[in-house]
Structure 1
Amino acid sequence: MIRDVKVSNNQVLVTLSGEIYVEESTVLREQLLQCLEKGLSHFVFNLSEVNYIDSSGLGVLVAIHKRALQNKGQVTIQGLNGSVKELFELTRLTKVFPTE
């Protein structure tokens, strides 16, 4: 579930919680693409309250990461834990995204 998307100091701060499935991913992708269109390219995702994310959710993160890099930005992931952290490690996304 998308808890919050806000812009602060030219960064897009995204807080997610619960379970991230296709429906949430579609909404999230649209919101983040609007941010990219406005020229924002630095994203910080707080996943500390996420207990599940499916492949579509991971796909959104990867797609936004790719677009952010093209615009000289980056995506940072915060708060990985539990099965979500294991999934990031298993898929080697911990090597793709800076994590905190």
Structure 2
Amino acid sequence: MEITTKDCNDVKVVSFKGRIVYDTEEIVKRETEKLVKGPVKNLVFNFGELTYINSSGLGLLINVLKQVRAAKGDVKLSNLRPELMELFKITSLNSVFDISPDEETAVNKFIKK
């Protein structure tokens, strides 16, 4: 699991590469906790190179979303592969998260607020 971040105006873009599964969840949890505690409260999670996420990983994302919204920020998702988008639809998480087709669109949604 590889996680990279970059700043784009007042938005932190977080790109995930690999799989969020049992043995990588701790890495994801540690990195997302740093982000939640940081000064930037608007996050875009770019899942373009995320190949798989298990149910615990989905729970982790929901937890991050709750924490960020409690801090008056938001999390938007971008670049979901078709199989991940299908998972979000099956679990109805597509109605919980704002999902954009690409990173630029997701970032612009924050800028236009």
- TM-score interval for Structure 1 and Structure 2 normalised by the shorter chain: 0.7 to 0.9
Amino acid at match of 2:65: H
Equivalent residue, structure 1, for 2:15: 15
- Cα contact 2:46–2:78 (8 A) shared by 1: yes
Q: Is the 8 A contact 1:51 1:82 kept in 2?
A: no
**Structure 2: tracts of 5 or more residues without a match:** 101-113
Greater C-alpha Rg = 2
Give CA deviations for 1:13-33 in whole Å, capped at 9, x if unaligned: 111123211232211111121
Please name the residue that 1:75 is paired with: 75
CA-CA distance at 1:3 after TM superposition:
3.6
Q: For 1:31-61, what per-residue CA distance to the aligned partner results, in whole angstroms no more than 9, with x for missing partners?
A: 1212222233211011122221111211121
Residue-pair matches, total: 100
Cα distance in 2, alignment partners of residues 17 and 38 from structure 1: 22
Query: 1:71: Cα distance to partner?
Result: 0.9
Distance 1:96 1:76 in 2: 10
TM value normalised by structure 2? 0.78
SS in 2 for 1:99: strand
Q: Structure 1: where are the runs of 5+ without partners?
A: none
Counterpart of 1:44 in 2: which secondary structure? strand
Bigger drift between 87-96 and 40-49 goes to 40-49
CA distance in 2, matches of 1:23, 1:41: 27
Q: The residue matched to 2:77 in structure 1 has which SS? A: strand
1:64 corresponds in structure 2 to 64
User: Structure 1 runs of 4+ off > 4 angstroms?
Assistant: none
The residue that corresponds to 1:89 in the other structure is: 89
Higher mean C-alpha displacement, 4-13 vs 35-44: 4-13
| Aligned-CA RMSD value | 1.5
